[in-house]
Amino acid sequence: MSAFHFDGLVWHWPIAIYLFLAGLSAGAVFFAIMLKHFKLASQASHSHFVQAAAIIAPIAVFGGLGILIFDLTKPLEFWKILVFYNTTSVMSMGVLVLMAYQLALFAWILVVFHQALLQWLDDRLPLLQRLTLWLVRQEAAITGVLVILSLALGAYTGFLLSALIGFPLLNNPVLPLLFLISGLSSGAAATLLGGVLLRGNPNGVEVRFIHSIEIPLILIEIILIFTFFVGLILSGGQSEVAAFNAIGFGFWGWIFWAGIIGVGLTLPLAFNLWMKVSADRKFTYVAVTASFSLIGVFLLRNFILYTGQMTGA
């Protein structure tokens, strides 16, 4: 049995990429909203980090949906899931959340960058101008709805895997929360990396604010991973077998300990703790730390997806 091809494999790497991109989009939006609300206010549109999040979030969610569509056996019939909803289907409800999330996302982006948009329109397309001004007046409601939808999307990535009945590692109540927190972490990292690549100040208020939240996020993620596997081990039977198969020796064992725990969690945590008492942040520090976090979350998605399908109930 190889790490990527074995009996019982239902979902493979395109689903892991979809889960990664959906969580990243939700996390980037969440941190952009936090930056605007707590630090930047009306100056948010001028921040390279908010600009990065506004670019990354829609591209990530569209990219994830594109991968999901082409991975289906009948991709040309994907439109049906956009029209016909099944309240008992996790995937169907997830698509509904995705549609609502995208509408709220673009409405929020219009609100944040409305001054530049109205200046560019310059009395052209009056209908779009009126729509933009109306959305600006609804900013509080749009922001609140988008926060809820972004958190729902982040958790949904975990609920989707739970739909694979018969796999003890995936039928775990901690999984949605773990995917939500790791998705927020990836969104923070993507916002930081995109912001400094757009020539944002690596020692600015945005970086310091996000890093102050990243530390508790990483600690919560470590606790959730510990809880996730301890719960499986204490359950005994196939749950215990699934846990030890995942984090034991072999390819996925190395991915877990060296990639997820080492590169994805320990190094970013150590760097963030060290920088709280050291010199000013530089581009290299921000870029490298963010890249480590992104690698860790991407490996976590693949690790859970593949090892979760290796052991049946």
- pLDDT tens for 104-122 read 999 999 999 999 988 888 7
Give per-residue pLDDT as tens, 3-29: 888 887 888 888 999 999 999 999 999
Q: What is the pTM of this model?
A: 0.93
Q: Within 10 A of 177 (CB to CB), how many other CB atoms are there?
A: 18
- Among residues 251, 209, 295, the alpha carbon closest in space to that of 1 is found at 251
Q: Which two tokens stand for residue 188?
A: 């923070």
Give per-residue pLDDT as tens, 172-200: 889 999 999 999 999 999 999 999 999 99
Could you give the 3-state DSSP secondary structure of residue 31? helix
Q: What are phi and psi of 199, to 5 degrees?
A: 75, 30
DSSP state, residue 87: T
